[in-house]
Amino acid sequence: MRWVAYLDDNEMLRQLVQELVESVLGVRCLTAGTLDDFKNIILSEPPVSLAILDINLGVAQPTGIDAFHWLRAQGMQEPIFFLTGYSESDPLVKDAGKLGVPIFEKPMQTKIFLERLRESLKLSSPPL
């Protein structure tokens, strides 16, 4: 069973992305607002098909980059995407850019974002 894990400290955005992924792509999406909650979800479910990580999870909090490294240390080879509301000049965004995974800026272009998720999950396109 395919499913998506989404880590973001913004509850409204978590709800929006979850609704989009589940309603448009037909794929289960579980969300978390902290790295600890995210880890608990990942460890309690079958292997995740794709992870979406907010880069900056708030002051004095672990980052999406920390989550990325943790996922890879767990053996996850599935696609990972970053989301950020910060500019490319932000040090965290620069560091994330060195990891070789797609970075989407918030607010993201929904159609492009969903198409990239669809491709990464190897889902067929809906009929026209």
Q: What residues does each domain of the chain span? A: 3-109
H or E element at residue 5: strand 3-7
* pLDDT tier, 128 (very low <50, low <70, confident <90, very high otherwise): very low
Q: What is the percent of the chain with per-residue pLDDT over 90, rounded to a whole number?
A: 89
Q: What is the mean pLDDT of the chain?
A: 94
pLDDT digits (tens, 9 = 90+) for 14-47: 999 999 999 999 999 999 999 999 999 999 999 9
How far apart (Å, rounded) are the C-alpha atoms in residues 128 and 126? 6
Distance from C-alpha of 44 to C-alpha of 60, rounded to nearest angstrom:
26
Name the CATH topology of 3-109.
Answer: Rossmann fold (3.40.50)
List, for residues 52-67, the tens digit of each pLDDT value: 999 999 999 999 999 9
Whether the pTM exceeds 0.95: the reply is no
Residues 6+ apart with CB under 8 A from 57: 7, 8, 9, 34, 35, 63, 64
Q: In the structure, what pLDDT confidence band is assigned to residue 124 with cuts at 50, 70 and 90?
A: confident
